[in-house]
Amino acid sequence: MSNRLLARRAGTRVLGQWLPVVFWLIVIMLESTDMMSAQHTGSFLLPLLTRIFGRIDPASFDCLHHLLRKSGHFIGYGILSLLLFRALRSTVTPRLVRVGLLSVALTGVVASLDEWHQTFIPSRTGCVQDVVLDTTAGACVQLVLLGVLYVSRRRVARSELASVN
């Protein structure tokens, strides 16, 4: 196989690993706009939840709305951390702990930049607590992922040992 063909295949592999990360970063960026501010999501969610559950008192809705928004942070940045792990592991280093730590660090950087960006949008606010929540989400995903991969590796090692005996 020629060097050019090998380089093209490697480039395609790298693009295939990083494209989901880029897509998810765009999703996060769109969620940081005025369109997804608490005012706009509240005006959409209240009629939807009222239709599903009936009348909701304002205090309960405010609490539920806040909980849904923070859950969105946790899930969104958890997904980013997972996608970063996948891309970094296959294109930078296969060392699991190093990839996990780098994924959490990059998740924190993106969260920080996102919150900073929101300080320039009149209907949004940048919040250090959201950076902590987002980075925590990334760390939780990495801990679960590393645990799953550790257990998986042990099972493979045991089955290989059993097949040798």
Answer yes or no: is pLDDT of 87 > 90. yes
Cβ atoms 115, 126 nearer than 8 A? yes
Q: Give the C-alpha separation, 79 to 103, whole Å.
A: 11
Torsions phi, psi for 129 (to 5 deg):
-60, -35
Q: Are 130 and 73 in contact (CB under 8 A)?
A: yes
Model confidence at 111: pLDDT above 70: yes
Quick check: 99 pLDDT over 90? Answer: yes
Q: What is the mean pLDDT of residues 92-117?
A: 95
Q: Which long-range contacts (CB under 8 A, 24 or more apart) does 17-24 make?
A: 17/86, 17/87, 17/90, 17/91, 18/87, 18/91, 20/83, 20/86, 20/87, 21/80, 21/83, 21/84, 21/87, 24/76, 24/79, 24/80, 24/83
58-91 and 96-118 helices, crossing angle to 10°: 140
| Tokens standing for residue 141 | 């995903």
Interatomic CA distance for residues 139 and 142, integer angstroms? 5
pLDDT given at position 37: 84
For the chain, which residues make up each domain, given as ranges? 16-36+73-164
Averaged confidence pLDDT in the chain: 90
| pTM (two decimals) | 0.85
